[in-house]
């Protein structure tokens, strides 16, 4: 006794049925959005790094001015 697969039992897989339940974005859109996100992230870091550095420098100068002796 051999088991044969009846072609009518297996439903044909179509692309529209497999993508019906989720959103689909093309690869070029994902890659371009991630590239723009990297540029935005680098821009934010470049803008905030000098501000953070100046804040640390100001805090260091402030602490040194409080501890120094006045003659």
pLDDT tens for each residue of the chain, 71 residues long: 666 766 665 565 555 555 555 788 899 999 999 999 999 999 999 999 999 999 999 999 999 988 876 65
Instruction: Domain ranges for the chain, please list them.
Output: 25-67
3-class DSSP assignment, residue 27: helix
Q: Which of 36, 54, 56 is nearest to 44 (CA)?
A: 36
30-48 residue pLDDT tens:
999 999 999 999 999 999 9
Query: What is the pTM (predicted TM-score) of this model?
Result: 0.50
| Residue 46: HSE in the Cβ half-sphere, 13 Å Cα cutoff | 6
Helices within the chain (DSSP H only): 15-18, 27-67
Instruction: Please return the burial class of 66, using the count of CB atoms within 10 Å of its CB with bins 0-12, 13-18 and 19+.
Output: exposed
């Amino acid at each position: 006794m051999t088991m044969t697969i009846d072609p009518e039992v297996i439903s044909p897989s179509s692309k529209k049925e497999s993508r019906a339940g989720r959103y689909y974005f093309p690869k070029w859109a994902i890659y371009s959005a991630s590239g723009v996100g990297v540029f935005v992230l680098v821009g934010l870091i470049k803008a905030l790094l000098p501000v953070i550095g100046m804040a640390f420098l100001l805090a260091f100068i402030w602490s040194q001015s409080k501890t120094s002796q006045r003659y």
